[in-house]
Amino acid sequence: MSRKYFGTDGIRGKANVAPVTAEIALAVAKAAGAHFLRGNHRHTVVIGKDTRLSGYLLEPALTAGFISVGMDVVLLGPIPTPAVGMLTRSMRADMGVMISASHNPYEDNGIKLFGPDGFKLSDDVEMEIEQRLQDNKDIPLATSAKLGRATRLEGAMGRYIEFVKNTFPKDLRLDGLKIVIDCANGAAYKVAPTVLYELGATVIPVAVTPDGFNINKDCGATATTLMQEAVVAHGADIGIALDGDADRLILADEHGQIVDGDQVMALIAKTLQSRGLLSGGGVVATVMSNMGLENYLNDIGLDLIRTPVGDRYVVQTMREQGYNLGGEQSGHMVMSDYTTTGDGLIAALQVLVALIRADKPASEVVRGFSPLPQLLQNVRINSGVPLDDVLALPVVKEAIQAGEAQLNGTGRVLIRKSGTEPLIRVMAEGEDSKLVNSVVSEISETISSAS
């Protein structure tokens, strides 16, 4: 069965347009709630959201759906995605929901579902929920006496703040550090500055005035100029930029120079390895991570395990193969000793630990390797031809093979289709930047003309 609703990270799209409508949210809640009903206890679901205007549309629709099948709903309000995973598990809820489109603009929104263990749902469970939705069969509703109730957990932020602070070593403080924190006008706009302040830092908060429309707008992990400029203007030691639901981060050193997720993974991996705390003998990352990271890890005796794009695939592999560190170049960092999904704030604290212990400027600590030249180009397919059919064309296959031959073992070519847009993403990396650019250009032109 093909997927109609779920993509690489839950359900996502333009708000108030299928599949992100109140009607579909109601149906998803009923189908997901029915799937997780087990036993005769009072069933509970926790629901968090980011700061998008459309959260007010989806939250009550989801609430009604869960209540209708007999689940009690605990509303968390604006809170980071990793907090939903944490609270689902700590409150012994039967499932959790995060209403967010992560780093996307305010016009979009999405629904992420968590199981009772606090982890995002597997492909198999999502497909079972898809089956319920697509079969369009009536889902048994609760009797009048067994309808659920909705309550609001006023202390949700406080619980998460204390949880995050407890991941920081008890013998360390952030005293003396000046930190810029860009919250993307999103879910962490209160919790992130609070955590850093309570741990002793001088905090320069930016993008902390959400209005429903400005989430991720010219700020956050996908638009880092605001954070970079603030670091330089305030003479800060480091800058931290989160995205709209705070499950990813991008850093800037004291000069305002960007540090991506690959460098963060390298730093945390080496730190954990030196303390005997790295499980599995390596790191799990996606196919997008730079070969420079792989070479660096190999040089210090560690492996890099690659997965498809998407932090839940990283988490799945970590769980299956016994790794406790994984992430994405885009900034998702998963430290399974603490969290069940990417957590930008907890990852940032681990970087700050390394900074304090090294007693050196960020620029000397956070760059463990020189990345190989890498170029990613999106090719939009406007013809309506299915992306798989485009990639199956002989002329496209020949262009990809030719590009791989040109790199001749000194690099790689990666072609993948978008899960949400009519885009084919063409990426190449290697030792020669001119050759990399040429390979990407030739393949992209071939795909564009052939489609």
Which residues participate in catalysis according to the annotation?
Answer: 102
Burial of 53 (0-12, 13-18, 19+ CB in 10 A): middle
Which residue is it, tokens 């609070």? 194
Task: Give dist(CA 255, CA 373) in Å, integer.
Answer: 22
Q: How far from 49 is each of 80, 271, 429, 444, CA to CA, in Å?
A: 8, 33, 37, 37
Task: Give dist(CA 291, CA 45) in Å, integer.
Answer: 41
Omega of the bond leading into 82 within 30 degrees of 0 (cis): no
Burial of 450 (0-12, 13-18, 19+ CB in 10 A): middle
> What type of residue is 56?
Y
Q: Say if residues 424 and 378 touch (Cβ distance below 8 Å).
A: yes
> What type of residue is 87?
L
Sheet holding 249-252, edge to edge: 202-206, 178-182, 238-242, 249-252, 258-259
Task: Give dist(CA 152, CA 169) in Å, integer.
Answer: 32
Sheet holding 150-152, edge to edge: 11-14, 108-114, 95-99, 43-49, 71-78, 150-152
C-alpha angle with apex 189: 185 to 191, nearest 5 degrees? 160
Phi and psi at residue 267, in whole multiples of 5°? Answer: -65, -50
Sheet holding 411-417, edge to edge: 374-380, 423-430, 411-417
* Token pair listed for 325: 């560190």
